[in-house]
A and B are shown apart, each in its own frame.
Chain A
Amino acid sequence: MSTLDIKGLQVSVATEAGFTEILRGVDLTIKSGETHAIMGPNGSGKSTLAYSIAGHPKYTITGGTVTLDGADVLAMSVDQRARAGLFLAMQYPVEVPGVSVTNFLRTAATAIRGEAPKVRTWVGEVKEAMKALNMDTNFAERNVNEGFSGGEKKRHEILQLELLKPKFAILDETDSGLDVDALRIVSEGVNRVKGNSDLGIMLITHYTRILRYIKPDFVHVFAAGKIVEEGGPELADKLEEKGYAEYTTA
């Protein structure tokens, strides 16, 4: 049983005009096995929260704490955070020319597991996971995310989730850009990981569609850099119907 604890998190980005504050005190606790949906208007800071937890250098932490089972996440380098058990499925996965998916996955698995996976079982493991996500095996020979369609990139993120088996996954709009079949396949992938490993999930989304597959235990409304309301799954339905007007008008 693990706990990801975010307390009073304040984050700024450097802009031409100086520092702009984006996160204004985020409090959120996620335990193993829990799924927390985060919904909020464009530009409210959801991706900033996700990136800040993962350690993207663009964001400056100006206050608050993030701990994983008591360990100070903010003091860790990006790769240490991943090895500690955090995984971010990105809204816009990055293309890495020249590095094949196979090579990338194996290098990542080696880093996360602390030893190189056995060649024989590993090849099967990757093939199986790709098959389950309906990914053609020729993706293994392609370069990381290079020329992948939007939906293919998202599947590739979930493929990594399956293979790296983190303690906590932050899924930043993994559902955006997926067709109906892909949404179901990707959601099943997430549920499979959760079923096998007691994964804790922070699921950032704009739509209730994905919540029909990945059932949230909690729904949080995110506006202007912090969580402004919390509830159960019913809150998502209310948001879909009424929008964010009541949270954004001052």
Chain B
Amino acid sequence: MSTLTTNYLAPTGREEAWRFTPLARVGGLLDASTAIESVASLRITNAQPQIKLTVKSAEDLPAISKSDDLATIRAREVISEVTHIEVAANAQLTEPLIMERSGLSGKPQASRTLISCGVNSHSTIILNNTGDAILADEIEFDLAPGSNLTFISLQEWSAKAVHLGRQHAVISKDATFNSIVITVGGSLVRLLPTVEYSGPGSSADLQGLYFATDGQHLEHRLHVNHNVPNAKSRVNYKGALAGDKAHTVWIGDVYIRANAEGTDTYELNRNLLLSDGARADSVPNLEIETGEIVGAGHASTTGRFDDEQLFYLSSRGISAEIARRLVIRGFFAEIVGKIKNEEIENRLMDRIDSELDKVEA
């Protein structure tokens, strides 16, 4: 349960990091007077011998990274137990490990997880978030040299869920972190997929998909800290919006520090507005402190599914409803195809279709 607050100050909404977020809707997670329960909320559905899950006390398993995110600071204060997932060194997983997080209380809760990938291990972990939640969540990834992790998180929360989350990877020499963040559910979801490096030859590929409909606020704030030489990063997030007051925020901060010679980075955010009344904020930001790099670039586009496209498809006999589906499925296919799990891909496309149906109805 909640512990005494020592150094916590709630955001006012004027901070750069919180200016887009509807603070009235965060369910008390940022309020020092709210009682927040510590939960170890992840459950493995297909246990595998090379992966171990243990729940440890927070003192025994401190965070491996610093964070100035107020939701994370607040969560760390109240957390008593931490879930530790360890992928054995040299493990070569052929099947993804599937984790569920469902049946949360719907009252303010906080959760912290550390995923440690052993030297030269190769694994895929999928996390399905469903049901109700008012959750401040932190997942850290500790990638040992030569390891390769694909982490797929699906935010398929219920319509009233609140999720403030951080997913931070520390990638060491020759390790590769692939992240796929899929956010379609929830009332307010604010995620921070962030990356730092601890050795050269390391690489991060951060992909994301979000689809906001009526009244949803879906926010993704990426941060890639190129703090070592010869590391690589790719960011590609795609979002669609439909319906009144759907709001998405995408922030892409990439820093190339003075010592990060040989950096190779590119970040991209594309948004598709399917109806009026929706709003997509997209802010790429690239700061470069050294000129000795392989490449650095960013792009952000926000486009409409316009009347001309609809007319063209309709003029070939395709109904407006199917035309819209065709366009949005096509738009998302690039990201969905990376999941490489047919069941999840189909479920996701069905969910996207049914969200569209709701908007059209």
User: Which of B309, B313, B333 has the most C-beta atoms of chain A within 10 angstroms of its own C-beta?
Assistant: B313
Q: Tell me whether B331 is interfacial, beta carbon within 8 Å.
A: yes
A121, B71: Cα distance in complex, Å? 57
CA distance A82 to B317 in the complex (A): 5
* B309-A56 in contact (CB<8A): no
19 sampled A-B residue pairs with Cβ under 8 A: A54-B315, A57-B307, A78-B314, A82-B318, A90-B312, A94-B309, A94-B311, A98-B331, A98-B333, A100-B330, A104-B313, A108-B313, A108-B317, A111-B317, A111-B318, A112-B317, A143-B330, A160-B316, A164-B316
> Counting CB contacts under 8 A, is A149 at the interface?
no
A79 within 8 A of B: yes
CB contacts (< 8 Å) of A79 on chain B: these are: 314-320
Residue B17 at the chain A interface, CB threshold 8 Å: no
Inter-subunit contact A99/B314 (CB<8 Å): no
A97 within 8 A of B: yes
B327 sits at the interface (CB 8 A): yes
Could you say which of A82, A95, A144, A164 contacts B314, with CB atoms under 8 Å apart? A82
CA A93 – CA B322 in complex, angstroms?
19
Interface size bracket, A side: 20 to 34
> Of residues 306 to 344 in B, which have CB atoms within 8 Å of A's CB atoms?
307-309, 311-320, 322, 326-328, 330-331, 333
**CA of A104 to CA of B316, assembled, Å:** 9
How long is the Cα–Cα vector from A90 to B309 in the complex, in angstroms? 13
Q: Is the interface of B mostly helix, strand, loop or mixed?
A: helix
Q: Does A134 make an interface contact (CB < 8 A)?
A: no
Residues of A within 8 A of B (CB): 54-57, 77-79, 81-83, 87-88, 90, 93-100, 103-104, 107-108, 111-112, 143-144, 160, 164
- A residues less than 8 Å from B318 (CB atoms): 79, 82, 107-108, 111
* A78 and B311 contact, CB distance less than 8 A: yes
Q: A82-B316, A93-B312 are in contact. List 19 more A-B contacts (CB 8 A).
A: A56-B311, A57-B307, A77-B320, A79-B314, A79-B320, A82-B314, A82-B315, A90-B312, A94-B309, A94-B312, A96-B327, A97-B330, A97-B331, A98-B328, A98-B330, A98-B331, A108-B313, A111-B317, A160-B316
User: Within the complex, what minimum Cβ distance (angstroms) separates A163 from chain B?
Assistant: 10
Nearest neighbor of A108 in chain B, beta-carbon distance: B316
Q: Which residues of B contact A100 (CB under 8 A)?
A: 330
Asked if A104 contacts B308 (CB within 8 A), the reply is no
Chain B residue numbers with a CB within 8 Å of A104 are 313, 316, 326
In the assembly, what is the distance between CA of A55 and CA of B320, in Å? 13
Q: Is the CB of B312 within 8 A of A77?
A: no
B277 to chain A, nearest CB (A): 20
